[in-house]
Structures are given as C-alpha cells and as structure tokens.
Structure 1
Amino acid sequence: MNDQPASTAGAWAGGAASVEGFLRWVVADLDRMPALRVHHAEFGNYGSGYASYVDVFVTGRDGSARRSENGWTEVEGLPLALCRLAPVATLLKPGTQSSGPNGAGGRGLPQLSLVTDDAPPGWAEEYRQIRQVLDRHDLDLLDAQLLGLPLEGGLHVETVLGDPPYTVFDAWFHWAD
C-alpha cells in the first residue's frame, strides 16, 4: 500500500501539509473540551519513520487522572488516533502515559485489540465530548468490527504494529520505522 490520501474531500484535497494543519486544528478543538484536555499529541512520527495517524492522548481537565511520585508523572486518559490518510479516527481503551526525569517515559502504540466501540466505563461524558468534536470536523469514528475486517488478498502494509493477514485497521493506522 502507498501512504497517499485516500480521500479528495476537505483538507485531503490539499495534500499532506493541508491535512497536517487540519489535524492540528482538530487537536486544538479537542483541547477545548469542557471535561478533557489534550495531554499529548504526537505529530512527529515518533521521531522516525512514518505514522499514518496522529497519536492523541486526552485526560481529565481537572487533573484528577494525574499522579506524581519520585519525579515521575503518570496520567490516565483516552488514546485517540486521527488518520492522516482519510477523515477517520479511532478511540482506544483507557490507558496511561508516564514521564520522568530527562525525558524518560512510556506510552503505548495503537492496536486493533484496544479499539473501543462505546464509551469505556467511567468515561461516558468524555466519550460524548470527543464524538462531538470529531462530528464537528466531519471525522468518522471507526469501530473494532469495521477495523477488524481483512484487507483484500495480496495487499501489504508496511507496519511494525501488525502482521499479515492485514486488516482495515492496519491500512488506516500503521507505523513503520
């Protein structure tokens, strides 16, 4: 597969720079949600390679999902992947990100097994707010059933996130180092 936009609508008609600007606008809008704020958004392909998505991590605006101890901070939140190839996104099960001294830290990469189709327990209002922002920007939130469908035989995805046989998830949300 190539990493060319699959859509010619909206920002995708203007190429990669247009899509990047649009996704930055979406992330800024996500950061204005009443109950949530953007803790981190990775636009830099994790420093190497190519990511077909922007990795966004949202957490509670009130700080209650943040814990600090011994120079380390752990934040609980909802990972969201915004596709660079088409106006689609997927929401993942709640997770944590950690950061420590000298830039040390950890976070997970998106995987099909983590895709959530509904509001995770305890996140109903936050899920509703995320949906509203995505709807406002005409981004479709894809579910695990659709993303789990197999790709047609012979299609190959350059990714370190999954193995053949590839799925729709692999096509939209992949990363190669």
Structure 2
Amino acid sequence: MSSKLATDLTALRSAVNDHLASTAGAWAGGATAVDGFLRRVVADLDRMPTLSVHHAEFRHYGAGYASYVDIFITKRDGSMRRSENGWTDVEGLTLALCRLAPLAALFKLDVQSSGPGGAGSRGLPDLSLVTDTALPGWEEEFRQIGQALDRHDIALLDSQVLSLPIGAELRVETNLGDPPYSVFDAWFHWMD
C-alpha cells in the first residue's frame, strides 16, 4: 500500500511542496509527532541484534530542509570500523526515513570518516546508490532492517519505484537531483 502512496499524484504534489503526504499514524499528528516517531524508529534500529546506528541526522545537515532523516547503520561487532592516524572509517548502510510519509530507501555500502577536531566526510543519498537486495555478508542485517521497518509500518521502496518519473508539472527544490525528477526526488530531497 505504501508503494502505492509513493506514486500517488496527490501525495507527490504534497511531497514536492514539503507537506506531509500521509495521515497514517504519526503523520496525522503533524511534523512534531513525525519527528518523535522517527526518533523511536531510530532507537528500535539501534537495538537490532547485529547492527547499531552509527549516526542519525535529524538536523537537516545543519542548514536548509531535508525531507528525510539520514541514518548510517553499521555492524554492532565493530568489524566495519578502522582507525589510523587519528581518523576512523566506518563502513555501513545508509537508510533514509522520509519525514513526509511512512517511506524509506536503503543504500549500498558506504564509508563515513571522522577525524581530529570534528573533521569528517560522508555522502548524501542518491538514487543510483539505492539497493534492492542484500549485499554479500549483509543478508541477516538486511533482514533485520526490513523487520524493524515493518514493525513501524514503513515501506522500504525499491529502485524500480523510486526511478519512476513524477511528471514535468512537478518541480522539486533539491540539491540532490536535476530534472526530469523521479519518485526518489519527491520523497528524498534536500535544499541548503
């Protein structure tokens, strides 16, 4: 049902204008209720048996507006962390939880780096990085993420749905993509 919401023209119109596009669950209570709900989802993700949340970005990257919460998840056992010369690299998966509707997108393995004085690097969500299948060595982790999202009635959208065009009449204010816009751009956008 939520993938149907993801392609609904009325919902897409709301999404591209940064308006809540669902009245399900927390979305019926407005932006503050959604933020609280998504914080509980992140806490649930952080309790997964083999995974932990390394970072969750609720602050819109410090500027502008992000239509999603950016979550970086890594293996709990520390096997995906490497430290050298004061820098730490962490390999993991990025999960974007939409603020506008109960939708999510999962991305391929990435590395986040952090170093002295708060220096660091990380990527932004991109449609070309969406993953639909478990990566080798991450099968159990994919299953756990899917179960956590299911518990909260959040639909994990695949690249086929996210790649669909949204129509020329809909314009998305985003630093993450260019026209012609896709379903991904409508639900997962950021403008600084």
> Are 1:150 and 2:165 an aligned pair?
yes
Find 2:83's aligned residue among 60, 63, 68: 68
The aligned residue for residue 94 of structure 1 is 109
1:122 positional shift: 1.6
SS at match of 1:92: strand
**Cα-to-partner distance string for 1:35-79 (whole Å, 9 max, x where unaligned):** 000000000000000000000000010001000000000000010
Q: CA RMSD in A?
A: 0.5
CA distance in 2, matches of 1:53, 1:125: 25
Could you say which structure has the greater relative contact order, defined with CA pairs below 8 angstroms and 6 or more residues apart? 2
- Structure 1 segments of 4 or more deviating over 4 A? none
Q: Percent of pairs identical after alignment?
A: 74
CA distance in 2, matches of 1:28, 1:132: 14
- 2:38 partner letter: L
> Are 1:162 and 2:152 an aligned pair?
no
**Cα-to-partner distance string for 1:74-119 (whole Å, 9 max, x where unaligned):** 0000100000000000100011100001110000000000000111
1:153 positional shift: 2.0
Q: TM-score, normalised by structure 1?
A: 0.99
> Are 1:134 and 2:152 an aligned pair?
no
CA distance in 2, matches of 1:19, 1:49: 18
1:152 positional shift: 1.6
Q: How many residues align?
A: 177
1:144 positional shift: 0.3
Q: TM-score, normalised by structure 2?
A: 0.91
- 2:162 partner letter: L
SS at match of 2:117: helix
- 1:127 partner letter: F
The aligned residue for residue 124 of structure 1 is 139
